[in-house]
Amino acid sequence: MIELVEVRKTYRTGSIEFEALRGVSLRIDQGEYVAVMGPSGSGKSTLMNILGCLDTRTAGSYRLAGEDVGEMDEVDLAEIRNQRIGFVFQQFNLLPSLPAWRNVELPLSYAGVPRGERRARAIAALERVGLGEKVGNRPGELSGGQQQRVAVARALVSEPALVLADEPTGNLDSTATADVLQLFDELHAQGRTVVLITHEQEVAERAARIIRVRDGLLAEVGVRS
């Protein structure tokens, strides 16, 4: 599913260079549930952005489902981000003026899916995350945990093979965190590939494998079968 070979990422500001990733090689198979941990500045968010085709590597190679990402143009990358990867972020990134179903349908709108089908699929996605009775509520009318479930529904509405979650429980209380992690468990059970970035050990231990990032390098630790 995912194969990185000696990936490096260097940021430049004037004459100053910072190497965020220093030769990362990593393989994640289809259907794996992997957690990525590391302190602030370790490179884990840079890794997430490269995996999600939100940023490009400076050197090395990245193959996604057997395809060389480095050979893709921006149109190809946009299509991958829209249709093949589902993103869940710490800040939810919901549009406050739109009801839940309209927020969820946005990836389908960008993909040119007809309006009626968009609404039906968005409502179905909300029902899957337990928000069937909240489809018309705006984000401000929902709790933090409910907003994150809307964000998960939005990530799933395009039926992506890969779900990338960046600190998805960082703004949630313990009850909401448990609910959201249960959703990721269910996605994994359905055969989706889940990559979860977190700084919380208890959250990471829900995954089958933990990858620790420090100073732009990786060290893998097995957690459970």
What is the rounded (10 degree) CA torsion for 200, 214, 52, 131?
A: 0
- When pLDDT is cut at 50, 70 and 90, the band that residue 170 belongs to is confident
Identify whether 173 is part of a domain: yes
Whether 58 is in a domain gets the answer no
On the question of pLDDT at 225 being above 50, the answer is: no
Structure confidence by residue, pLDDT tens digits, 126-158: 999 999 999 999 999 999 999 999 999 999 999
64 falls within a domain: no
> What proportion of the chain, given as a percentage, has pLDDT over 70?
97
Q: What is the mean pLDDT of residues 181-209?
A: 93
**Nearest Cα to 130, choosing from 154, 107, 146?**
146
What token pair was written down for 54? 């939100």
Give per-residue pLDDT as tens, 70-120: 899 999 999 999 989 999 988 899 999 999 999 999 999 988 899 999 999
Identify the burial level of 32 via C-beta atoms within 10 angstroms of its C-beta, where 0-12 means exposed, 13-18 middle and 19 or more buried. Answer: middle
In a domain, 202, yes or no: yes
In a domain, 151, yes or no: yes
Residue 214's CB is within 10 A of a number of other CB atoms, namely 14
pLDDT in tens, 44-54: 999 999 999 99
* pLDDT for res 23: 95
Task: Give a yes or no: residue 5 inside a domain.
Answer: no
- Say if strands 85-89 and 162-166 run parallel, antiparallel, or are unpaired: parallel
For position 152, which CATH number holds? 3.40.50.300
In a domain, 12, yes or no: no
Tell me the residue range of the domain where 142 lies.
Answer: 31-53+75-222
Residue 13 maps to a domain: no
| Closest of 213, 182, 196 to residue 90, by C-alpha | 196
Into how many domains does the chain fold? 1
Q: Residue ranges of the alpha helices (H) in the chain?
A: 44-51, 74-83, 100-110, 115-128, 144-156, 174-189, 201-204
Q: What is the pLDDT of residues 11-59, one digit of tens each?
A: 998 889 999 999 999 999 999 999 999 988 899 999 999 999 999 999 9
Compute the distance between CA of residue 222 and CA of residue 37 in angstroms, rounded to an integer: 13
